[in-house]
């Protein structure tokens, strides 16, 4: 079986009682990110403190660029392979979990006794989030300062105000991580909302009919909510 970029030249190094699998070419440069949880970012470079390894800013940026390229290569070829995604997940977690602010937030918990298909989906979802956060960190100038504001701007740009119900149904149908029951429920609600929006009614009347769907939407995942919320602005088009 062909190896991914993150499985070639693996070696292990130990710290205390633990042993961490790590790529040979990266073990020295990223060692401090693994064994020290109080890593400090400061002007000119990155260091884990008194016993850590110093990496200047230029080398860190270069290594992060390389990791993004190699991660995307692995993703494109093996995104549905549970073993490959678990290797990539553990690598990214160890390399950047203590460096990039919010890098490990809201990741799915991997249950050791889950079926392989469920584990693969969890790894896939987590790796996708990590790759997005790596790219966000890079686009923000390789720094944590202003990173939250950058994410907020992205989310605002992702909200499409002119909603096309047909396109929205297609997007929901192709969303990963949703069961068939959930997809059917959302598509059914979209049909009901589309019918209300198409009626010739005053804004207040449309709002009265759509209000219950806003309550329903509040219980959904944020990514679903951001797709559907713009529907409520359609009541202004009378």
Domain borders along the chain are: 10-157, 165-236
pTM recorded for the entire structure = 0.53
Cα distance between residue 71 and residue 137, in whole Å: 15
Cα distance between residue 137 and residue 131, in whole Å: 10
- pLDDT tens-digit series, residues 74-119: 999 998 898 999 999 999 999 999 999 989 988 888 877 777 778 8
> Quick one: DSSP state of residue 142?
S
| Digitized pLDDT (tens) for each residue of the chain, 238 residues in all | 555 555 443 333 333 333 333 333 343 334 333 333 334 444 445 543 334 456 788 899 999 999 999 999 999 999 889 899 999 999 999 999 999 998 998 888 887 777 777 888 889 989 998 998 999 999 999 999 888 887 767 665 554 445 688 888 988 988 887 889 999 999 999 999 989 888 888 888 888 999 999 999 999 888 888 888 888 877 765 4
The pLDDT of residue 147 is 86
Place of tokens 């923000």: 140
Quote the tokens at residue 145: 């300062």
Other beta carbons within 10 Å of 228: 20
Cα distance between residue 41 and residue 48, in whole Å: 9
Place of tokens 């990741």: 107
Cα distance between residue 168 and residue 227, in whole Å: 7
206, 197 in Cβ contact below 8 A? yes
Q: Where are the alpha helices (DSSP H) in 36-115?
A: 57-78, 82-96
């Amino acid at each position: 079986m062909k190896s991914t970029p993150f499985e070639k030249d693996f070696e292990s190094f130990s710290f205390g009682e633990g042993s961490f699998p790590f790529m040979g070419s990266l073990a020295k440069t990223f060692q401090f990110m693994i064994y020290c949880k109080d890593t400090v970012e400061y002007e000119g470079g990155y260091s884990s403190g008194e016993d850590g390894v110093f990496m200047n800013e230029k080398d860190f940026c270069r290594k992060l660029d390389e990791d993004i390229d190699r991660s995307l290569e692995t993703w494109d070829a093996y995104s549905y392979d549970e073993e490959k995604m678990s290797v990539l997940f553990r690598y990214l977690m160890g390399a950047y979990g203590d460096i990039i602010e919010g890098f490990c937030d809201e990741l799915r918990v991997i249950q050791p006794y889950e079926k392989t298909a469920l584990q693969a989906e969890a790894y896939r979802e987590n790796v996708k989030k990590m790759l997005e956060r790596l790219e966000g960190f890079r686009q923000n100038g390789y720094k944590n300062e202003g990173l939250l504001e950058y994410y907020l701007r992205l989310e605002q740009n992702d909200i499409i105000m002119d909603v096309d119900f047909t396109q929205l149904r297609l997007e929901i149908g192709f969303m990963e991580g949703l069961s068939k029951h959930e997809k059917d429920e959302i598509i059914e609600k979209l049909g009901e909302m589309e019918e209300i929006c198409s009626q010739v009614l005053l804004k207040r009347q449309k709002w009265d009919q759509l209000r219950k769907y806003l309550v329903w939407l509040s219980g959904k995942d944020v990514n679903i909510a951001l797709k559907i919320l713009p529907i409520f602005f359609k009541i202004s088009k009378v």
